[in-house]
Amino acid sequence: MINLIVLGATGSVGETTAQVLRQHRDLYQIEGLVARSSGKRLRELAAEFHPQWVGLTDEAAGNELARETHLEGIQVLSGLTEILSAMRSAPPSKVIGAMSGFSGLVPTLAAVDCGFDILLANKETMVAAGDLVRARASQSGSHIIPVDSEHSAIFQCLGLDQPFKRIILTCSGGPFRGRTRRDLEHVTVEDALRHPNWVMGPKITIDSATLMNKGLELIEAHQLFGAEYHKLDVVIHPQSIIHSMVEFIDGATMAQIGWPDMQVPVQVALSWPERWSLTMPNLDWKDRQLTFEEPDHQTFHALSLARQVGLAGGLMPAVMNAANEMAVAAFLDHQISFLGIMEVVESVVEQFSENVAVKDLEQVLEADSWGRRTAQSLVWAQR
């Protein structure tokens, strides 16, 4: 029986986790469900899955939920401090790390320190503080199992821990594949949110449109699999059927293939090293074409920038991530243009001159705060 805590229970990965769990009700016990402020949806999930506790990181929303909710035997927690305390008191658990953005770092680190296995869908945690997360996981015995479809694919291909020559991350190309920078000058928020293959939250969907999502995944792959950057490639694969590939030292390449549906990587992480059955349609291979292209680095700067930032290491990835989160939020709020997202991010990275190796969480939090303040000032300048 798996004891499970879900961080980000009401987000897209959290809802996908619920879909998977409905098919395997005899294999798990929910310890806790955590969201930011979606009290109504969290209450519905609690009534269905009967956790020991639920928590909202937004303290005011948590207090409101506690006043309004009467779920027998379920404790309601308000704010991150109460949630972290409950996690530290929990029995050995697996933790779905699916909180959005940098906000997932602190609770994920707390779960790592408890020695819990982390089923990680929050790539920003590894981008901003991968060195710290890996060091603490080594100390506590925590295992980090990726849930992102690309990293899950790599994880599955590397299951035998054989030496590899190259990891190839696939990328759909997003809604603007084939467009020029001139074409992108007047795209709207609604345009950018129309991903051709995946249904995701707004932040990750915009990251997919700029290709920053793939840049973050490049850094995450370096952290998760110990791959040097010259062994990490990205290829555009518009059909999103091949989720990533590993080329081994004998020239053989393994690919993980399947429908673009997050249920599979979520379930792989939950069940590993076993595989559970899952109700999914079979792929029809008749008349199916799979195509591949080189990314357009001239139009989409995020990939090249992320590689440079990853090579720089230290606090630089945390700064880039912070700037990107602020710039994407500004775009979604119609404060800056689509091309303005990367203008802000690139400018923040250029201005950061205090890059050092990551030794503790306080450094990462300070770098994140600096990146957000600097990005916000640039957003105001663009308005």
Express each pLDDT in 102-156 by its tens digit.
999 999 999 999 999 999 999 999 999 999 999 999 999 999 999 999 999 999 9
User: Average pLDDT in the 311-329 region?
Assistant: 97
Q: How far is CA 111 from the centre of its chain?
A: 16
pLDDT digits (tens, 9 = 90+) for 153-203: 999 999 878 899 999 999 999 899 989 999 999 999 999 998 887 778 899
Cα 362–Cα 322–Cα 198 angle in degrees, nearest 5: 125
3-state secondary structure of 168: strand
Per-residue pLDDT, 198 = 75
User: Buried b vs exposed e over 120-154: b needs ≥16 C-beta within 10 Å?
Assistant: bbbbbbbbbbbbbbbebbeeeebebbbbbbbbbbb
Per-residue pLDDT, 197 = 76
User: Average pLDDT in the 351-371 region?
Assistant: 96
User: Average pLDDT in the 92-106 region?
Assistant: 92
- What is the overall mean pLDDT for the chain? 93
User: Average pLDDT in the 12-18 region?
Assistant: 94
pTM of the model: 0.93
Q: Is residue 49 very low, low, confident or very high in pLDDT (cuts 50, 70, 90)?
A: very high
Give me the percent of the chain exceeding a pLDDT of 70: 100
Cα 105–Cα 109–Cα 110 angle in degrees, nearest 5: 120
Q: CB neighbours (10 Å) of residue 169?
A: 23
Q: What's at 292, amino acid-wise? A: F
List of domains in the chain: 2-146 (3.40.50.720), 148-261+281-300 (no CATH), 313-383 (1.10.1740.10)
Q: Does residue 217 surpass a pLDDT of 90? A: yes
Rounded Cα distance between 15 and 8, Å, is 9
Per-residue pLDDT, 68 = 78
Q: Is residue 373 very low, low, confident or very high in pLDDT (cuts 50, 70, 90)?
A: very high
